[in-house]
């Protein structure tokens, strides 16, 4: 896929900028929605860009905070979303499940 064919996030969207509030972040799920992609479309674009195909479950688990993303996946997401290198933070805080 050519760079001109990628759906790129606008600068404010990619960086989650909000007037007067520092630098808030957006979730990976939010980034995908802003890009107008389904999980399947995201998987297809990652494969077209990197040659690696991730499963729907892997992408969903990362987006929902159930597991961390590899550096390779984060770099692939930056490519697909048209973001600068190292713009996706690798700090991972797993979701805490409430005790049943």
Model confidence pLDDT, tens digit, residues 12-70 = 444 444 344 444 578 899 999 999 999 999 999 999 999 999 999 999 999 988 988 99
C-alpha distances out from residue 36 to 23, 31, 68, 71, 76, Å:
23, 9, 23, 23, 17
Claim: this prediction has a pTM higher than 0.95: no
What CA dihedral angle connects 28, 29, 35 and 37, to 10 degrees? 130
Tell me if the domain spanning 10-81 has CATH number 1.10.260.
yes
Structural contact between residues 28 and 57, judged by C-beta atoms closer than 8 angstroms:
no
């Amino acid at each position: 896929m050519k760079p001109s064919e990628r759906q790129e996030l606008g600068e404010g969207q990619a960086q989650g900028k909000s007037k007067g509030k520092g630098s808030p972040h957006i979730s990976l799920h939010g980034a995908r929605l802003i890009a107008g992609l389904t999980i399947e479309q995201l998987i297809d674009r990652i494969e077209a860009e990197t040659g690696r195909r991730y499963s729907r479950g892997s992408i969903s688990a990362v987006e929902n905070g159930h597991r961390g993303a590899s550096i390779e996946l984060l770099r692939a997401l930056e490519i697909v979303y048209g973001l600068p290198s190292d713009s996706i933070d690798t700090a991972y805080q797993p979701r805490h499940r409430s005790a049943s």
